[in-house]
Amino acid sequence: MLLGLFPLFSFLVLMPFASLLGGGPASGEPSGLIRWLPWFADHPLAAFVVYYLVYDLCYYWMHRAQHVIPWWWAMHSMHHSQRQMSCWTNDRSHYLDGMLQSFILAGVGLIMGVEPSEFALLVLLSELVQNFSHANIRLDFGRLGWLGRVGQRLLVGPLFHRHHHMLRDPERPARHNCNFGQVLPWWDMLFGTALYTDEPVRPTGVSDPEVDADNERGLIAMQWFTLRRFWGAVSCKAGWRLGDVSFGPGYRPIHDELPRLHTPDQEVPQPDSTARQSRS
Ligand SMILES: [Zn+2]
Ligand SMILES: [Zn+2]
């Protein structure tokens, strides 16, 4: 996970399929972006920036899916169950989830016509920024004055991503569904999921006891129980119905009948007894 081997492996596995369809780096022909807009052939840096923007945008929507599709949350929740974050939290996720993400991102790279070396660079850059954004440090760009205010809107930093990992707030049940961006916070700003606040940070982790139990397990048991959670969700209808869930007997997802996304009007505390009942 740490070395980005999953994405590189996926890219190499998918390359022959891309060639079969007449594209991809192995075909020798320009493909993807350069084929659509030949101007980029002479401007590799500009092309790399475009690749990066598309890659990061896809990551944003994939991350939204990881939270809203219950069988995917069954796996991604392992990343969120860690109570104390560190720069390695980024790589604490289920191997099946890692594989699935890698195939999606590598597929996007191949459609865009990215070269293997460029893809490696995309992955490396993202990994580094994510190790930084998961670090357990009180680094708030906002404290650097105007420079910081600009900075925290240019790059996902530890404070921004920490809000994404917040423990669910029973008073504001949709607040934790925020800040999905990987490297650029722009997608959150664009799609209304960005949370910038001066309020003290909330503790991190998950409130669902079935998922929090990950913390009592070792490396292999954690992978195994997450796989069981995934199977419990993917093998029933409720696991495919979008929304926030917790896990009941047999790891069957139980839907919360609550608003899903953080939006600015939900900032005001609202009494809500269902929130406490379904996930306390
Ligand atoms: Zn997440
Ligand atoms: Zn994270």
The pTM is what?
0.86
- Distance, in Å, from the CA atom of 91 to the CA atom of 128, rounded to the nearest integer, reads 11
Q: Give residue 97's pLDDT.
A: 94
Q: Give residue 178's pLDDT.
A: 94
Of the candidates 78, 103, 105, 109, the one whose C-alpha atom is nearest the C-alpha of residue 211 is 78
**For the CA of 86, the nearest ligand:** 2
Q: Give residue 247's pLDDT.
A: 94
194 CA distance to ligand 1 middle (Å): 13
**For the CA of 204, the nearest ligand:** 2
Residue type, 176: H
Is the per-residue pLDDT at 271 higher than 60?
Answer: no
- How many CB atoms sit inside 10 A of residue 174's CB? 19
Q: Give residue 179's pLDDT.
A: 95
51 CA distance to ligand 2 middle (Å): 22
Name the band, by pLDDT with cuts 50, 70 and 90, for residue 279: very low
**Scanning the structure block, which residue is given the tokens 């192995």?**
26
**For the CA of 158, the nearest ligand:** 2
217 CA distance to ligand 2 middle (Å): 19
27 CA distance to ligand 1 middle (Å): 36
189 CA distance to ligand 1 middle (Å): 16
User: Which of the pair, 151 or 206, is modelled with greater confidence?
Assistant: 206
30 backbone dihedrals φ, ψ, rounded to 5°: -65, 140
Three-state SS at 246? strand
134 CA distance to ligand 2 middle (Å): 6
User: Which of the pair, 225 or 197, is modelled with greater confidence?
Assistant: 225
Which pLDDT tens digit goes with each residue over 201-253? 899 999 999 999 999 999 999 999 999 999 999 999 999 999 999 999 999 99
* Contact present, 114 and 51 (Cβ < 8 Å): yes
**For the CA of 91, the nearest ligand:** 2
Q: Give residue 167's pLDDT.
A: 92
- How many CB atoms sit inside 10 A of residue 136's CB? 12
Three-state SS at 255? strand
16 CA distance to ligand 1 middle (Å): 32
Name the band, by pLDDT with cuts 50, 70 and 90, for residue 114: confident
180 CA distance to ligand 2 middle (Å): 9
> What is the pLDDT averaged over residues 269-279?
42
Whole-number mean pLDDT of the chain? 85
76 CA distance to ligand 1 middle (Å): 7
89 backbone dihedrals φ, ψ, rounded to 5°: -55, -30
**For the CA of 64, the nearest ligand:** 1
Domain spans in the chain, listed from the N-terminal domain onward: 5-255
17-26 burial, b at 16+ Cβ within 10 Å, e below that, comes to: ebbeeebbbe
The stretches of the chain forming alpha helices (DSSP H) are 5-20, 33-36, 44-68, 70-80, 95-112, 116-133, 146-151, 158-164, 186-190, 209-212, 219-234, 273-278
Q: Give residue 28's pLDDT.
A: 67
Is the per-residue pLDDT at 274 higher than 50?
Answer: no
66 CA distance to ligand 1 middle (Å): 7
43 CA distance to ligand 2 middle (Å): 33
Residue type, 136: N
Q: Give residue 31's pLDDT.
A: 77
Q: Give residue 276's pLDDT.
A: 39
Q: Give residue 263's pLDDT.
A: 54
Residue type, 68: V
**For the CA of 161, the nearest ligand:** 2
Which pLDDT tens digit goes with each residue over 164-181? 999 988 888 888 899 999
Strand (E) or helix (H) holding 272: none
* Contact present, 177 and 260 (Cβ < 8 Å): yes
183 CA distance to ligand 2 middle (Å): 11
Q: Give residue 148's pLDDT.
A: 75
Is the per-residue pLDDT at 130 higher than 50?
Answer: yes
Is the per-residue pLDDT at 275 higher than 70?
Answer: no
**For the CA of 206, the nearest ligand:** 1
171 backbone dihedrals φ, ψ, rounded to 5°: -75, -25
Is the per-residue pLDDT at 1 higher than 90?
Answer: no
Which pLDDT tens digit goes with each residue over 23-72? 666 666 777 888 888 888 888 899 999 999 999 999 999 999 999 999 99
Q: Give residue 169's pLDDT.
A: 86
